[in-house]
Chain A
Amino acid sequence: MTETFEPVIIGFTCNWCSYRAADMAGTARMKYPPNIRLIRLMCSGRLDPTFVLKAFASGADAVLITGCHPGDCHYVEQNYKALRRFQLLKRVLTQMGIEPQRLKLVWASAAEGAKLAEAITEHTEEIRALGPLNWPTGPNGFEQNKPEEMVVQEVTA
């Protein structure tokens, strides 16, 4: 639609750290690109890998997972589980033909609004350079250049 590609990024945040970091970034009026849309989870450990795949399937160009720093998890150690799932997801994405750098993990404590804003900016720029994720998506999705084929896919899906 425009000359420059503007990616859409889904960000998963932890209620105790990165969601608050986002609040803090807002309160301090730090600026970052409007390409990200955040979802609040209670913990990065709640991140079901399906969520990430769903985001990609529904049209996201990238996903940012954020959580408490290792050792600082509000629920003791659940961010380590997020880390494991992140590693696994990167391999799965690669196998699916999706560039693994579309998925990023950032630790951001409740005090690190600036760090989160920076990470969002950085990720947005990386994805902007990488280009859109072109793949036929699920039943509600689309095939970018062949809308008529999308109907067929919908039926067969």
Chain B
Amino acid sequence: MSERIGVYVCHCGTNIAGVVNVAEVSQWAGEKLAESGVVVSRDYKFMCSSLGQELIQKDIKEMGLTRVVVAACSPHLHEATFRNACKGAGLNPYLCELVSIREQDSWVHTDKVAATEKAKAIISGGVARVTYHEPLEPLHVPIHPDTLVVGGGIAGIQAALEIADAGFHVYLVEREPSIGGHMAQFDKTFPTLDCSACILTPKMVQVGNHPNITLLTWSEVTKVDGYVGNFEVTIKKRARFINEDLCTGCGICQEKCPKKVIDDVFEAGLDTRKVVYTPFPQAVPNYPVLDAPNCTFFLKGTCKACEKFCPTGAIDFNQKDEDITVQVGNIILATGFDLFDARRIPQYGYGRLANVYTSLEFERLCNASGPTGGNIVLRDGKTAPKSVGIVHCVGSRDQNYNPYCSAICCMQSLKFAHLVHERTGAEVYNFYIDIRTPSKGYEEFYQRLLEEGTHFVRGKVAEVTDAARQSGEDGKLIIQVEDTLIGKQRRIPVDMVILSAGLEARHDAKEVGKLFGIACSADSWYIERHPKLDPVATMTEGIFIAGCAQGPKDIPASVVQGAAASARVMGKIQQKEVSLEPVRATVDQDRCSGCRICNNLCPFSAILFHEDTMVSEVNPALCQGCGTCVAACPAGAISGTGFSDEQILAQIEGLLLLNVKHLELVPG
């Protein structure tokens, strides 16, 4: 064996050393793997520390190591660290292999002897594999300076503005007719009770007017090709039936349109809108959308009232959906959340009992621009409630629905309680499991509510019913709950019930994730690269996430993530090029028989077939390095850089070396 291999076993404090006998492993590797080329084997408390790295570098220089195996944590954490350390000592970084004896060994096993043996096997596999490593150079590709932001809620708005203000171009795509997202529907924001529209709409206007932002509302991304730095995105711009160049946003068409339909989206079903409409007065862009499936002209062929009255002739019934293709270097997904459907908990009566409201309905109810002009009244439209029950954790922290905490409901419920108090003077009962007010100013807000005299009942509501059993319950909604602080069942009659419904991932989050090549958690939230240290990046280079798409969060946290994602994108743009892992397939043209089996396997159409020479060739710019063609080539003509057959086969053998040795000792 001509390679000179160094093995470095990390203690990771007690993370590894607490279970694996690292000294024994290191000694074993030095002795038993000597025939595989190991010339030095050391263990050290923290290999990732600068002293640990220097240890490796010193050995590379002084002992002339040609390969390095580090046995420590997952390569997803420190592969770059150790590769760079090797590079610093003049060794090609791809000649270093990091094997995981922490995530795959010490952290998942309790049997110290077995874990130590497994560590030896893992190192043996790494040593066998690294022998076949080749020096590689990362691929450098230019980064397109434009960015795509998907979702025009507060997180997307923040991200788009930060990038645009920095002088780079942004395409902001929004599915609805206007940007603003859920925040535009709210009346007040906790804990400061800022008017939501007052703080949001200036940002929306900024987006609408920004020279660096191309705003595409009523549009959806339908196709994403390419990779970091070079995405080609197809956006379907749905027909608005309004000529945007001619429309002045005067609103006459909305006024004249004779047909009204229930507004399920912006008004949460509490109000109607016209068929040609802008969802709310401050909508950006301010030109309307014509809802074709409900339009009398499209249904019956007559009407055209909007066209008749439009002073600029902007109505265009012949407009068609349009596919727009844009080139971008990075993508930020800020696609937000869906509200938990309270109908799924029938015992709470939503949809059956008139005066049971969802949180979003209540937001509209108390919003000055909402259906009642901000008057908190019952469904009859005139009676002010004398008592209101607010149910926390509806669909959240519940094994039957969503096990997670939706993060915003406590503060939102406190806000509702305050608004009901302020505007109606009604008695307010909050039914909670735990009150969670962890951010700045939140606990103070809770204290304020306690002082305002809101009743807090600790217990999960069993039922909301209109079946009166006792005096004083007639005509009321009765909340049946176990008050766990006094250990008694209570029936509390109220006039109105607000269900603080939890947040859920978008119903199409999975499909959208697939479109962009990112993964979802079990609850369909997009998975971040690292939950603590890399919360807005994803495992797919060039795709970032922000806001509630990543998990339930409130407005301040969404804004922070929007800004964070934009900072990551701007960092990428400033680098002007990105270095990609050189994991690519290559065809040995002498060995290729031209069978073309690989041609159809490649999902990226990266394999070209040369008709003249009758051989296939991989285009390295399109190849993503999955290795399927490598595995399929019957002639063994395709090799996968970084994951070659030799490397994998050697690793298999190395991993099993110890096992074989052991079994050889078995008495016959």
B68 CB to nearest A CB, Å:
17
Q: Which residue of B111, B522, B626, B655 contacts A43 across the interface (Cβ within 8 Å)?
A: B626
Judging by beta carbons under 8 Å apart, are A1 and B663 in contact?
yes
Judging by beta carbons under 8 Å apart, are A31 and B645 in contact?
no
Please, how many angstroms separate the alpha-carbon atoms of A54 and B655 in the complex?
A: 12
B627 interface residue, CB < 8 Å from A? yes
Judging by beta carbons under 8 Å apart, are A16 and B519 in contact?
yes
Residues of A within 8 A of B104 (CB): 22, 26, 38
A71 interface residue, CB < 8 Å from B? yes
One digit per residue, 1 when the CB lies within 8 angstroms of any chain A CB and 0 when it does not, for chain B 580-597 equals 000100000000000000
A51-B648, A54-B649 known; A147 vs B664 contact (CB < 8 Å): yes
Residues of A within 8 A of B301 (CB): none
Please, how many angstroms separate the alpha-carbon atoms of A51 and B631 in the complex?
A: 9
Please, how many angstroms separate the alpha-carbon atoms of A78 and B517 in the complex?
A: 13
A156 interface residue, CB < 8 Å from B? no
Judging by beta carbons under 8 Å apart, are B514 and A71 in contact?
yes
Q: Which residue of B lies closest to A28 (CB)?
A: B107
**Would you list which residues of chain A between 128 and 157 have a CB under 8 Å from chain B?**
140-142, 144-147
Judging by beta carbons under 8 Å apart, are A50 and B645 in contact?
yes
Please, how many angstroms separate the alpha-carbon atoms of A75 and B666 in the complex?
A: 44
A10-B652, A10-B655 known; A45 vs B76 contact (CB < 8 Å): no
Residues of A within 8 A of B75 (CB): 40
A75-B603, A75-B624 known; A26 vs B652 contact (CB < 8 Å): no
**Would you list which residues of chain A between 29 and 56 have a CB under 8 Å from chain B?**
29-34, 37-43, 45-51, 54-55
**Would you list which residues of chain B between 253 and 267 have a CB under 8 Å from chain A?**
none
A26-B102, A111-B520 known; A59 vs B108 contact (CB < 8 Å): no
A118 interface residue, CB < 8 Å from B? no
**Would you list which residues of chain B between 651 and 668 have a CB under 8 Å from chain A?**
651-653, 655-656, 659-660, 662-666, 668
A16-B519, A46-B640, A111-B519 known; A54 vs B514 contact (CB < 8 Å): no
Please, how many angstroms separate the alpha-carbon atoms of A142 and B656 in the complex?
A: 12
Q: Which residue of A26, A51, A142 contacts B663 across the interface (Cβ within 8 Å)?
A: A142
**Would you list which residues of chain A between 55 and 87 have a CB under 8 Å from chain B?**
55, 58-60, 68, 71-72, 74-78, 81, 85
Judging by beta carbons under 8 Å apart, are B627 and A37 in contact?
no
Judging by beta carbons under 8 Å apart, are A59 and B660 in contact?
yes
A29-B108, A37-B121, A58-B652 known; A16 vs B627 contact (CB < 8 Å): no
B125 interface residue, CB < 8 Å from A? yes
B643 interface residue, CB < 8 Å from A? yes
A43-B628, A144-B663 known; A77 vs B668 contact (CB < 8 Å): no
Judging by beta carbons under 8 Å apart, are A42 and B656 in contact?
no
Judging by beta carbons under 8 Å apart, are A111 and B517 in contact?
no
Residues of A within 8 A of B631 (CB): 45-49, 81, 85
A95 interface residue, CB < 8 Å from B? no
B527 interface residue, CB < 8 Å from A? yes
**Would you list which residues of chain B between 65 and 81 have a CB under 8 Å from chain A?**
74-76
Please, how many angstroms separate the alpha-carbon atoms of A54 and B517 in the complex?
A: 32
Please, how many angstroms separate the alpha-carbon atoms of A26 and B627 in the complex?
A: 27
Q: Which residue of B517, B601, B640, B666 contacts A144 across the interface (Cβ within 8 Å)?
A: B666
Q: Which residue of B514, B648, B666 contacts A39 across the interface (Cβ within 8 Å)?
A: B648
Residues of A within 8 A of B (CB): 1, 8, 10, 16-17, 19-20, 22-23, 25-27, 29-34, 37-43, 45-51, 54-55, 58-60, 68, 71-72, 74-78, 81, 85, 109-112, 117, 140-142, 144-147
Give 23 CB contacts A-B under 8 Å.
Answer: A1-B666, A26-B100, A33-B109, A34-B114, A34-B115, A37-B655, A37-B656, A39-B125, A43-B626, A43-B627, A45-B631, A46-B631, A48-B645, A50-B645, A54-B652, A74-B517, A75-B603, A76-B603, A76-B604, A81-B601, A81-B631, A85-B631, A110-B527
Supplied contacts A23-B76, A26-B103, A85-B631, 18 more A-B pairs, CB within 8 Å: A29-B107, A29-B108, A31-B109, A34-B118, A38-B104, A42-B625, A45-B601, A47-B631, A55-B652, A72-B514, A74-B517, A77-B603, A78-B603, A81-B601, A110-B519, A111-B527, A142-B664, A147-B664
The 10 closest A-B pairs by CB, nearest first: A26-B103, A46-B627, A45-B628, A76-B603, A75-B626, A43-B626, A26-B107, A48-B631, A34-B114, A111-B521
